[in-house]
Amino acid sequence: MRAPLYITDTAPGGGKTVLTLGLVTELGTTFDSVGFIKPVGLARVRAGNAGIDIDAMLVDKVCQTRSNIEDMSPVTVSRSIWPKVTPEESGRMMEKIEGAFGRVSEGKDIVVVEGTGHAALGAVMGLSNARVAKALGTRVLLASAYSDLERNALDALELSRGYFEAMGVPVLGAVVNRVPAEQLDSYTSYARDKFDEMGVRFFGCIPEEPALTNFQFLQVSEYLDGEMLCGEAKAERVISSVRVGAMVPHRAIGYFQRSCLVITPGDREDVIVTACAAAAQEAAGPSGMVLSGGIRPHDRIIELLRSSGMPIFLATEDSYTVASRIHDMPLRIQPNDAEKIATVQGLVSAHVEVDRIVSALES
DSSP string computed for 340-352? HHHHHHHHHHHHS
Q: What is the pLDDT of residue 319?
A: 94
Taking CB atoms within 8 Å and a gap of at least 24, the contacts of 345-350 are 345/21, 345/22, 345/25, 345/26, 347/18, 347/22, 347/206, 347/207, 347/209, 348/18, 348/19, 348/21, 348/22, 348/23, 348/25, 348/26, 348/206, 349/22, 349/25, 349/26
Fold of 5-208+333-362: Rossmann fold (3.40.50)
Q: Which residues of the chain have pLDDT under 70?
A: 1, 43-50, 81, 148-153, 282-284
8 A C-beta contact, residue 134 and residue 3: no
CA distance 54 to 245: 31
CA distance 24 to 36: 8
Q: What is the pLDDT of residue 43?
A: 60
CA distance 195 to 185: 16
CA distance 161 to 158: 5
Alpha helices in the chain (DSSP H): 16-27, 54-63, 69-72, 87-105, 129-136, 146-152, 155-166, 184-198, 217-223, 249-255, 269-279, 299-308, 319-327, 338-351, 354-362
Q: Give the number of other CB atoms < 10 A from CB of residue 330.
A: 16
Domain range summary for the chain, segments of one domain joined by +: 5-208+333-362, 215-327
Share in percent of the chain as helix, strand, coil (round to 5):
45, 20, 35
CA distance 29 to 35: 13
Q: Which residues of 65-100 are buried (b: 16+ CB within 10 A; e: fewer)?
A: bebebbbbbbbbbeeeeeeebeeeebeebbeebeeb
Q: What is the pLDDT of residue 148?
A: 58
Evaluate if pTM is beyond 0.75.
yes
Q: What is the pLDDT of residue 49?
A: 47
Q: Which residues pair with residue 21 across a beta bridge? A: none
CA distance 242 to 55: 24
Letter for the amino acid at 214? N
Q: Phi-psi bin for 311: left (phi > 0), alpha (psi -120 to 50), beta?
A: beta
Phi, psi of 51 (to 5 degrees): -90, 130
* Residue 311 DSSP code: -
Level-2 CATH architecture, domain 215-327:
3-Layer(aba) Sandwich (3.40)
Signed CA dihedral, 249, 252, 257, 260: sign only: negative
